[in-house]
Structure 1
Amino acid sequence: MSKPSIPQGTRDFSAETVRKRNFILSTLRNVFELYGFEPLETPAMEKLDTLMGKYGEEGDKLIFKILNNGLNEPSNIEKAKSGFAKLMEGKNSSDLTERALKYDLTIPFARYVAMNHGKLSFPYKRYQVQPVWRADKPQKSRYREFTQCDADVVGSVSLLNEVELANIYHTALTRLGLADYELKVNSRKILAALAELCGGENFLTDITVAIDKLDKIGLEKVKEELAARGLSITQIDTIEKYLLIDGSNEERIAAAKNIFGENETAAKGIEELTYLLGKTKNTNLRIDFTLARGLNYYTGIIFEVKAPEEVKMGSIGGGGRYDNLTGLFGVPGIPGVGISFGVDRIYDALEELNLFPADLQVSTKALFFNLGETEGAFAFERMQELRSNNVSCELYHEPAKMDKQFKYADRKNIPFAVIIGSKEMESEECVVKNLKTGQQQNVQFDEIAAFLMNN
């Protein structure tokens, strides 16, 4: 028999880890609610045709497909073989798979809005906290199953929404202790203008997919990829000049205006970025014209969040405007913009920087010692009274030596021990010991709840 294991790129979460994750998630939920967003959940799986073609060439390759049921039944074997042959050719077949695990939360959200747009009040502001799956190569801070937190606004073209989302990033990450993060912003309109300078809109996908790899492979490799995608030396030189724009936010804006001249598409993108800079007080915001976010559905301002410099990892969040997204599902005319938080990477950043609160691992406030059948039954009644006052506590499961019960409390990081023997039963008081300081005192039964709540 093989040793028990879990799929590569997935994880089990212990109580300690779950409490830390809940600290992140509750912080994010509180910020979303603070800004007027309401919760939504969608299924773990979607129809395959809902997801395919929405994430660009690279993203589509990372969608986890689910095999149809009953493929080994005699009536389905030939269809399964035919479907597998198509799959080996890089094609999808409904004979083999019709469903997939969701790749992100944005496309399922767009599908939900398309299905329910007649019932929603616009602008509709929702947040969503759920796991997503990607058939990526597992590595540090990159998993095949991970949790995303999204906040989206649909039904409004106002750039005030982008300002609000930038402020959400600032509020949430500051509350989590990551105040030195960097929020990179660009506009897909400027990237579209770059494609126009290179000869036409049909170059946009090739350019954005290549530029999106800049941080990973460097400028020279990006130029090689652009050449492999059919761009000329002159076109690549134009893109390189664009990618080398540097300086302050204002200097970068000026350099972009110089490169694009009278190009109307670029002018609209620059106007959007200028508005965002002027309206937000977020000093962590940085214009980065190399930011591409190689997903086909973005149409306006795009975001990407980098962890503080001392944490060496990829982005911990990102998003942007996707005005045409619901049109993919036959419901045009519903503009949208949204951002996403990478919970697992935020967790790793907080862990590396030692930013989790010290008291997260306390769940049980007091352990009632079990000193015998009669004493244990009496302690159980007192414990239930504390629980009715919302004080978390537990009774050791069986009579045992004091040392064993103290060790149990220590392993579970329980701060107080409550000891009730026959003497304490008669005097209607108990011994309460602070297991961190070693101090103990006698407390009347009717005062235990107040004592523990105030200490």
Structure 2
Amino acid sequence: MAQKPSIPKGTRDFNPEEVAKRNYIINVIKQQFERFGFQPIETPCFEHSETLMGKYGDEGDRLIFKILNSGEYLSKVENDVLSQKDESILTPIISEKALRYDLTVPFARYVVQHQNEIDFPFKRYQIQPVWRADRPQKGRFREFYQCDADVVGSDSLWQEVEFIQLYDTVFTSLQLEGVTIKINNRKILSGIAEVIGAHDKLIDFTVALDKLDKIGEDKVKEEMISKGISTKGIEKLQPLFSLSGDFDTQIQRLKAMLATSIDGLKGIAELEFISKAIQSLNLKTAKLELNVTLARGLNYYTGAIFEVAAPKSVSMGSIGGGGRYDDLTGIFGLNDISGVGISFGLDRIYLVLEALDLFPKTVANSTRVLFINFGEKEALHCLKTIEKLRQQNINAELYPDDAKMKKQMNYANKRNIPYVVLVGEAEMNAQTFTIKNMQTGTQESVTESELMKILQ
């Protein structure tokens, strides 16, 4: 007996209803991206390994899917290298390409490669899948879509303000209330590391701090100590772990804590500018909240950092994030091009909308009317009308076989098709159509023009 086929862990099949719901979210996000002036691009699903490796820190590098070279890739490997079994030496020899980890680094590569064709500041959006060799769990997949928007070529903080508005507008359109946009600034984290004497360990500090919500304060401290951050320095962090209050209150306390750090004070000033602008503009659905332990352990952030939390009524990780990167294109030789961007977590947003029953009831209704098949002559007659309906943007189809009426009706019910049309010999002679409302069970005889009106 043949083994039942399966798919790799962390990947999924999507049925028609699920695809329709995902497309609903994508269409809402895409509509708002374009309303805010962003233009679409696409990049390949895999890149040269050197494009991706070293851009996400050690943890990110470990999560990148490597692609084996074509052909007899082991023939190029010396026996002594094989015998060492050292993946850091072997991998670059047998793998020159990798699946993209996110859309930001490929975007930076795109900007550098096409710099002479781009008008700066360049506002782009991109909706494509990415891959991470992560441990699968609820809301965390190995293959998932990112919906990104970025601006490069401007260091204006009005871009950060607009991105917060963009988040708010999308979640308002999705009727998702109770969303929190958490914000911090990498310069503040740099200032804190400086104050506690760990400026040379900034990456280790931020990676550990970013895990606070997942592993708790004690474990974060343990990790920092293991990375060589002194106990005395960690003691100075204590006010940070207990920092609370509204945005302005936290800002004032940070000013006192970072009074000796030029970098830290600059980060505070940037946050104050963004906060005051948002207070004047008034968000519709989302709430802006300062979170000074937010680090997002990616090396390329240099300014504002964003992370979006789902409503507290739903147990879910972040549903969006992003930040400012002042010289990401510098890794590919194009210096002094500042950028800022955000991402929407499509799959997690889907789970949140599903949990809160926020999808429109009609979102999965692809076909509006099914024509019953009574035979060859009747089917041809129906197809002529179906063609007219499709020209009016009405989704219509003919049941392909002249099966029993019950079977065709059951098909319409299972597909949640709201209307069924019956055209037998009597209807053909009278040039009428019998239309049945599948929800109410009522049916009536109508002309072609009346049929059009009902289905529109």
Q: TM-score when scaled to structure 2?
A: 0.96
Match of 2:351 in 1: 348
Instruction: Tell whether the 8 Å contact from 1:141 to 1:313 is kept in structure 2 after alignment.
Output: yes
- Matched residue SS, 2:93: coil
198, 211, 221: which one pairs with 2:209?
Answer: 211
228, 245, 253: which one pairs with 2:243?
Answer: 245
CA distance in 2, matches of 1:153, 1:86: 45
Shift of 1:262: 3.3
Shift of 1:193: 0.5
Instruction: Tell whether the 8 Å contact from 2:76 to 2:93 is kept in structure 1 after alignment.
Output: no
Identity %: 49
Instruction: Tell whether the 8 Å contact from 2:305 to 2:322 is kept in structure 1 after alignment.
Output: yes
Match of 1:433 in 2: 436
Shift of 1:337: 0.2
Match of 1:291 in 2: 294
Match of 2:86 in 1: 88
> Unpaired segments of 5 or more residues in structure 1?
none
CA distance in 2, matches of 1:85, 1:177: 58
Q: Does residue 328 of structure 2 align to residue 320 of structure 1?
A: no
Q: Does residue 162 of structure 2 align to residue 139 of structure 1?
A: no
| Alignment CA distance shift 1:293-1:413 (3 Å) | same
CA distance in 2, matches of 1:47, 1:284: 40
Shift of 1:294: 0.5
For each residue in 1:398-439, what CA deviation from the matched residue of structure 2 results, as whole angstroms up to 9, or x when unmatched?
112221111010011111111111111111101011111111
For each residue in 1:329-388, what CA deviation from the matched residue of structure 2 results, as whole angstroms up to 9, or x when unmatched?
000011000001110000011111111000012111111111122222222222222222
CA distance in 2, matches of 1:398, 1:293: 56
Instruction: Tell whether the 8 Å contact from 2:198 to 2:205 is kept in structure 1 after alignment.
Output: no
For each residue in 1:167-208, what CA deviation from the matched residue of structure 2 results, as whole angstroms up to 9, or x when unmatched?
000000121122211000000000001111122531211110
Q: Does residue 162 of structure 2 align to residue 164 of structure 1?
A: yes
Shift of 1:89: 4.5
- Matched residue SS, 1:448: helix
Aligned AA (1:14): N
Aligned AA (1:305): V
CA distance in 2, matches of 1:92, 1:326: 29
Instruction: Tell whether the 8 Å contact from 1:431 to 1:442 is kept in structure 2 after alignment.
Output: yes
CA distance in 1, matches of 2:195, 2:112: 35
Map 1:225-240 → 2, pairs under 5 A: 225-240=223-238
* Structure 1 vs Structure 2 CA RMSD: 1.5
For each residue in 1:96-142, what CA deviation from the matched residue of structure 2 results, as whole angstroms up to 9, or x when unmatched?
11100000000000000011112111110000000000000001110
Match of 2:183 in 1: 185
Match of 1:34 in 2: 35
| Alignment CA distance shift 1:305-1:449 (3 Å) | same
Map 1:48-447 → 2, pairs under 5 A: 48-71=49-72, 76-77=74-75, 79=77, 88-91=86-89, 93-280=91-278, 281-282=282-283, 284-447=287-450
Shift of 1:30: 0.4
CA distance in 1, matches of 2:189, 2:80: 41
CA distance in 2, matches of 1:93, 1:7: 22
| Alignment CA distance shift 1:242-1:87 (3 Å) | farther
- Matched residue SS, 1:361: coil
CA distance in 2, matches of 1:123, 1:235: 41
CA distance in 1, matches of 2:79, 2:45: 27
Shift of 1:445: 2.5
Shift of 1:83: 6.1
CA distance in 1, matches of 2:114, 2:131: 25
Aligned AA (1:31): Q
CA distance in 2, matches of 1:59, 1:243: 26
Aligned AA (1:195): A
| Alignment CA distance shift 1:92-1:323 (3 Å) | farther
CA distance in 1, matches of 2:97, 2:254: 43
Aligned AA (1:423): A
- Matched residue SS, 2:260: coil
Please identify, of 403-412 and 374-383, the stretch whose mean Cα deviation from structure 2 is larger: 374-383
CA distance in 1, matches of 2:385, 2:33: 40
Q: TM-score when scaled to structure 1?
A: 0.96
Instruction: Tell whether the 8 Å contact from 1:242 to 1:259 is kept in structure 2 after alignment.
Output: no
Shift of 1:241: 2.3
| Alignment CA distance shift 1:204-1:86 (3 Å) | farther
CA distance in 2, matches of 1:379, 1:151: 46
Aligned AA (2:21): K
